[in-house]
Chain A
Amino acid sequence: MFELLGVSPQALFGQLLLGLINGAFYALLSLGLAVIFGLMNVINFTHGAQYMMGAFASWMLLNYLGVPYWGALVLAPILVALTGVVIERLFISRLYHLDHLYGLLLTFGLALVTEGLFRREYGISGLPYANPLPGGINLGFMFLPWYRAWVVAISLVVCFGTWFMIEKTQLGSYLRAATERPDLVQAFGINVPRMITLTYGFGVGLAALAGVLAAPIYSVNPVMGANLIIVVFAVVVIGGMGSIMGSIVTGFGLGVIEGLTKVFYPEASNTVIFVIMAIVLMVRPQGLFGTPK
């Protein structure tokens, strides 16, 4: 048996798989950000808070209304997406003619307010949420919990579904066209403002879906998104702002790299992504999959 720097191949396979699982979360979250940025040119800093709201929505559905996990998987993203639609109509839609920075400041402020409200109501320690798929399978090199396998599967389906919809369908072509020339698309009789509202709602729904998936394995607490959002932004920057495929591939890829760092040099595991970001920005400022503007 070969060994790499004192780590057995079993351990390495296990860590690769775990990296892929974490990458699934990064991919789902950065996908939502990429959709919103790519089609609306808004840097959505509320994304972490919306991920948190997804997790809380599933907790509330279970504890106040008795809706189990599988129901929450569908309902929670829709509910959180609706709040996104309201936010877009009330606030964000008034900023499209201004610089990106205003949208960033607004959404960042909204995130702080949302997190503050949840913290006031539920405290910080977190809420228990039972695992809907306990148990797992022994793969020989590691024990794979069913739930983690499920997370990777659903994340892959959703990511590539979204990519297909935006890049390969007629609806997607309308969306992309509306980003380039909203006036022209409007002239063809397509309701561009409504399409943009729904796009934002969809992006928010993706964040909430990631939140529902996270609820059984991470602590459901008001700052769960704040910890993650910075990493996810780095993923989007590395992948290329607004590139759908870029965010998916980089999400999974960086999950794996982070996982390997946890084996070889755990102390650096939360900085490695930023080191990569710095290198990518130096070598290829538009990101790995981005096109220079």
Chain B
Amino acid sequence: MRWSMKILAAAAAMCVGAGLAQAQYSDGAIKIGVMNDQSGLYSDLSGQGSVWAARKAITDFCKTTTCHDKIEVVFADHQNKPDIGSNVVRQWFDVDKVDVVVDVPTSSVALAVNNITKEKNKVFLVSGAASSDLTGKACTPNTVHWTYDTWALANGTGNAIVKTGGDSWFFLTADYAFGHALERDTAAVVEKSGGKVLGKVRHPFPGQDFSSFLLQAQQSKAKIIGLANAGSDTTNAIKQAAEFGIVQGGQNLAGLLVFITDVHALGLKTAQGLVLTEAWYWDTNDANRAFAKEFAAANRGNHPTMIQAGVYSAVTHYLRAVHDLKSDADGAAVVAKMKAMPTDDKLFGKGSIRADGRKVHPVYLFEVKSPAESKGPWDYYKVRATIPAEEAFRPLADGGCPLVK
């Protein structure tokens, strides 16, 4: 009799133990969902490269730490449409038990995912999207904005240009959340440094022919034409500006968001001299170069963008937090843990996450090399300035994030 009681008690204890083990990792697995543009104009700067970076982060993490035996990566194409992105993410959270959504370029989609993640208490690690609203009025306890944002771009490129005499601006803006945010943040920087905004034109996204908008910019007589767009919109605009003799006419272009893949697409002959702001470049240290080499081998020779590097860095930090907590069930708790731990990984080095969800690290002002300066393919940037972490992003108090008291 005594025996059977003991067995019963042991069995009960085991059941409780099993129950606890289940509560640790929801559904028994850590499931990472990489959602981005897999087929359209942002697919080279995020796309499969970001999926590769997420997988690489898991492999590297499990090399140095005893990691959970079931960590999975799934991915989806949001086609830059908020409705498609929302559907995918709801399906991921409700049916597929995805714990964290990563990347999500295209701010309009990211803002939609931001709301759903909060509603379902999961985690959202933004690398691709730029709108600074994600850590401003739209901030949530479930979102971390990792790589860069429109404020940092405006602060880097905008400031540098106004300081070198570019004090009157005309904006060519992509007509959606990202373009509006970038235009707003840059205009603020320009006006704060004593410059003037003479006008703006909002073009449909994605666009193809920019000649008409460039002509309007030309007639504004502004010294600087600020391109508040991205991807092939930016490369097309730069290409056509060269054709229409904008630069010979005495005006200069400011690419407010230019990725290394855009420079590659333009060719150095067209892109040389462009000043741009990025948070990461492959050729700044040995760890980055080694990462880029492996990345290129797996991605048709392309080199990683800051967005893809940011995915690696964000997933690494997420895994550390989740393994520390031994649970991925409560999204807000995971993000709180991520904010409490200092960040440290091989690509972005040491950094931290603020109360509003903003990850801070240094940001660089680069200049595109001339064909003569470049030693080979993908050798495109030289550093003009390093903006320290504490100055690179919008001051905590200015964003209007309700989480900051």
Contacts from A to B (Cβ < 8 Å): 8, 10-11, 14-15, 18-19, 21-22, 119, 121, 123-128, 130-131, 134-136, 142-143, 145, 147-148, 216-219, 221, 223-224, 227-228, 259, 262-263, 266-267, 269-271
The reply to whether B40 and A143 contact each other, CB–CB distance below 8 Å, is no
Give chain B's interface residue range (CB within 8 Å of chain A): 35 or more
The prevalent SS among residues of A at the interface is mixed
A267 — which chain B residues lie within 8 A by C-beta? 175, 202, 204
| Given A124-B41, A125-B264, also A143-B216 (CB < 8 A) | no
Q: How far, in whole Å, are A169 and B42 apart by their CA atoms in the complex?
A: 48
Which of B186-194, B240-248, B343-351 is the interface stretch?
B240-248
The answer, yes or no, to whether B389 is at the interface (CB within 8 Å) is no
The reply to whether A18 and B204 contact each other, CB–CB distance below 8 Å, is no
The reply to whether A266 and B202 contact each other, CB–CB distance below 8 Å, is yes
User: Which residue from chain B places its CB closest to the CB of A138 in the assembled complex?
Assistant: B245
The answer, yes or no, to whether B302 is at the interface (CB within 8 Å) is yes
A-B contact pairs, 21 of them (CB 8 A): A11-B216, A124-B44, A125-B44, A125-B45, A125-B264, A127-B265, A136-B244, A143-B218, A143-B249, A145-B244, A147-B243, A148-B211, A148-B243, A216-B243, A218-B209, A218-B236, A219-B232, A219-B265, A228-B208, A267-B202, A270-B207
Q: How far, in whole Å, are A258 and B213 apart by their CA atoms in the complex?
A: 12
Q: How far, in whole Å, are A79 and B43 apart by their CA atoms in the complex?
A: 29
The reply to whether B243 and A10 contact each other, CB–CB distance below 8 Å, is no
The reply to whether B212 and A15 contact each other, CB–CB distance below 8 Å, is yes
| Given A11-B219, A269-B204, also A223-B41 (CB < 8 A) | yes
The reply to whether B44 and A145 contact each other, CB–CB distance below 8 Å, is no
B43 — which chain A residues lie within 8 A by C-beta? 119, 123-124
B232 — which chain A residues lie within 8 A by C-beta? 124-126, 219, 221
Q: How many A-B residue pairs have CB under 8 A?
A: 116
Q: How far, in whole Å, are A85 and B203 apart by their CA atoms in the complex?
A: 38
A131 — which chain B residues lie within 8 A by C-beta? 242-243
The reply to whether A219 and B235 contact each other, CB–CB distance below 8 Å, is yes
Q: B140 to nearest A CB, angstroms?
A: 30
Q: B264 to nearest A CB, angstroms?
A: 6
B41 — which chain A residues lie within 8 A by C-beta? 124, 221, 223
| Given A11-B216, A125-B261, also A145-B243 (CB < 8 A) | yes
Contacts from B to A (Cβ < 8 Å): 39-45, 47, 175, 201-204, 206-209, 211-213, 215-216, 218-219, 231-232, 235-236, 239-240, 242-245, 249, 261-262, 264-267, 269-270, 300, 302
Q: How far, in whole Å, are A15 and B219 apart by their CA atoms in the complex?
A: 12
Q: How far, in whole Å, are A10 and B215 apart by their CA atoms in the complex?
A: 11
Q: How far, in whole Å, are A221 and B231 apart by their CA atoms in the complex?
A: 12
Q: B172 to nearest A CB, angstroms?
A: 10
Q: How far, in whole Å, are A270 and B215 apart by their CA atoms in the complex?
A: 18
A125 — which chain B residues lie within 8 A by C-beta? 44-45, 231-232, 235, 261-262, 264-265
A19 — which chain B residues lie within 8 A by C-beta? 212
Starting from the known contacts A125-B235, A223-B40, A262-B201, 9 additional A-B residue pairs (CB-CB under 8 Å) come to A18-B212, A125-B232, A126-B235, A145-B243, A148-B243, A217-B239, A217-B243, A218-B208, A266-B203
Q: B186 to nearest A CB, angstroms?
A: 19
In this complex, which of A127, A262, A263 has the most chain B Cβ atoms within 10 angstroms of its Cβ? A262
The reply to whether A266 and B265 contact each other, CB–CB distance below 8 Å, is no
A219 — which chain B residues lie within 8 A by C-beta? 232, 235-236, 239, 265
The reply to whether A126 and B265 contact each other, CB–CB distance below 8 Å, is yes
User: Which residue from chain B places its CB closest to the CB of A133 in the assembled complex?
Assistant: B243
In this complex, which of A14, A22, A126, A147 has the most chain B Cβ atoms within 10 angstroms of its Cβ? A126
Q: How far, in whole Å, are A263 and B214 apart by their CA atoms in the complex?
A: 11
Q: A148 to nearest B CB, angstroms?
A: 8
User: Which residue from chain B places its CB closest to the CB of A262 in the assembled complex?
Assistant: B212
User: Which residue from chain A places its CB closest to the CB of B205 in the assembled complex?
Assistant: A270
Q: B39 to nearest A CB, angstroms?
A: 7
Q: A151 to nearest B CB, angstroms?
A: 11
Q: How far, in whole Å, are A124 and B42 apart by their CA atoms in the complex?
A: 8
User: Which residue from chain B places its CB closest to the CB of A268 in the assembled complex?
Assistant: B204
User: Which residue from chain A places its CB closest to the CB of B300 in the assembled complex?
Assistant: A123
The reply to whether B267 and A128 contact each other, CB–CB distance below 8 Å, is yes
The reply to whether B201 and A266 contact each other, CB–CB distance below 8 Å, is yes
A10 — which chain B residues lie within 8 A by C-beta? 219
The reply to whether B204 and A15 contact each other, CB–CB distance below 8 Å, is no
B44, B175, B249, B266: which contacts A128 (Cβ < 8 A)? B266
Q: How far, in whole Å, are A19 and B211 apart by their CA atoms in the complex?
A: 9
Q: B380 to nearest A CB, angstroms?
A: 13
Q: A195 to nearest B CB, angstroms?
A: 35
Q: How far, in whole Å, are A121 and B302 apart by their CA atoms in the complex?
A: 12
B216 — which chain A residues lie within 8 A by C-beta? 11, 262-263
A126 — which chain B residues lie within 8 A by C-beta? 232, 235, 265
The reply to whether B213 and A227 contact each other, CB–CB distance below 8 Å, is no
Q: How far, in whole Å, are A267 and B269 apart by their CA atoms in the complex?
A: 32
A216 — which chain B residues lie within 8 A by C-beta? 243
B249 — which chain A residues lie within 8 A by C-beta? 143
A121 — which chain B residues lie within 8 A by C-beta? 300
Q: How far, in whole Å, are A217 and B244 apart by their CA atoms in the complex?
A: 10
Q: How far, in whole Å, are A228 and B40 apart by their CA atoms in the complex?
A: 14
